[in-house]
Amino acid sequence: MPTTENVLNGLAEDRATGALHLGGAGTLYLTGGHVTCAESPAAPRVEDLLAACGRISDHAVRQAMRAQDEGRPGGELLVAQGVLTKGELEFCVLGAVLDAVYFMFDAPGHRPWFRPGERHWLGPQWYFDVTGLFQECKRRRTQLDRTWPSAELDSLPVVPVGRVPAQRVVLTSLQWEVVACADSTATPADLAHRLGRPAYSVLLAVRQLAAAGLLRVPRGEIAAAPAPPGAPSETPEERPAAERRDARVPPEAPAGALPRRVAGVRGIRDAVAEGAHTSGTAQWLPPATGDPTDVNLLIRLRNALEALT
């Protein structure tokens, strides 16, 4: 099966214009070989971001969608109405595209399907290089892992700890929004939609909160947590061979064999994610337990080690 990267690179070379549908993972819109818009169910869309900040009503968005045509894209209509400046629209589209693409490229099990000539109602507001997009995704993934190397909390409800393990805590404005909106049932993706903030930013805030020891794992959630639509899955079979990390035990290792040690934090992250999402396929991994005391112990150990240095 052709990978998203191959298909996109081919379309960029052909200077194609149209929409690349990636099944449930989302849709990429191209203009002259550049990506100009992207939508993924895992990330809030441009109109969601605009509506959430109260700048524009759903009604105005629908009106602009209907009124737009080839000559006057919806984005230009919104700017002409004076609801936002060109710079704000560009920044909003830019953020929304990078956000959607991050959750799109890793999503497995879709067959890329290109429909030439299909346009996004906003029209091109910002032109992205295909290689640049892939680099940005890689950079974002590294940033997440550097912040807190476990993907365990990424798809679980966000639950702040009742008591803070410090005398004083400094939060960024987004971290505050996450904590204030967390109701012990909303996952980071749900929070992003509710807050009208990019899903990646919320995910990063959640990992930062986890790293500071301010979140706890909801009891009994690990094994039951379903993977959200379009969330990056970590099963080795679905990933292109080049991206597979060699340090891991091959999946054909006999069941019951001792799990070999994996190199680096990425390995741990993958192991946790696989244990959570694909129970049954990865029998060579120790079973993931839902015991929050394990995680709390690890967090405390880590904090203690950091305090030493």
Partner 1 sequence: MLGIEDCLAEVMAIPGALDAIMIDQTSGTAVATGGGNRHLDAERSAAGLGETLRAMLDGLATTSPGGTVRIRDVIITTDDGHHLLKPLETVFDGPLVIYVHLDSQRSNLALARHRLQALSGRLITM
**Residues engaged in binding partner 1 (CB under 8 A):** 49-50, 53-55, 79, 84-88, 90-92, 94-96, 98, 126, 135-136, 139-140, 143, 168, 170, 172, 174, 196-198, 200-201, 204
Q: Which is nearer to partner 1, 144 or 225 (CB)?
A: 144
Report the residue count for the chain.
309
CB of residue 91 to partner 1, shortest distance in Å? 6
**Could you give the CA distance from residue 162 to residue 144 in angstroms, rounded to a whole number?**
25
CB of residue 138 to partner 1, shortest distance in Å? 11
Q: Which amino acid is at 15?
A: R
Q: Which is nearer to partner 1, 143 or 293 (CB)?
A: 143
Q: Which is nearer to partner 1, 197 or 248 (CB)?
A: 197
Six token digits for residue 172: 């960024």
CB of residue 223 to partner 1, shortest distance in Å? 31
Please name the residues in contact with 190: beta carbons below 8 A apart, sequence gap of 6 or more: none
Q: Which is nearer to partner 1, 174 or 268 (CB)?
A: 174
Q: Which is nearer to partner 1, 101 or 273 (CB)?
A: 101
CB of residue 145 to partner 1, shortest distance in Å? 14
CB of residue 53 to partner 1, shortest distance in Å? 4
Q: Please report where in the chains the tokens 């507001």 appear, as a residue.
A: 125
**Could you give the CA distance from residue 56 to residue 47 in angstroms, rounded to a whole number?**
8
Helices (H), 148-291: 173-181, 188-195, 199-211, 264-277
Half-sphere exposure of 266 (CA within 13 A, CB side): 11
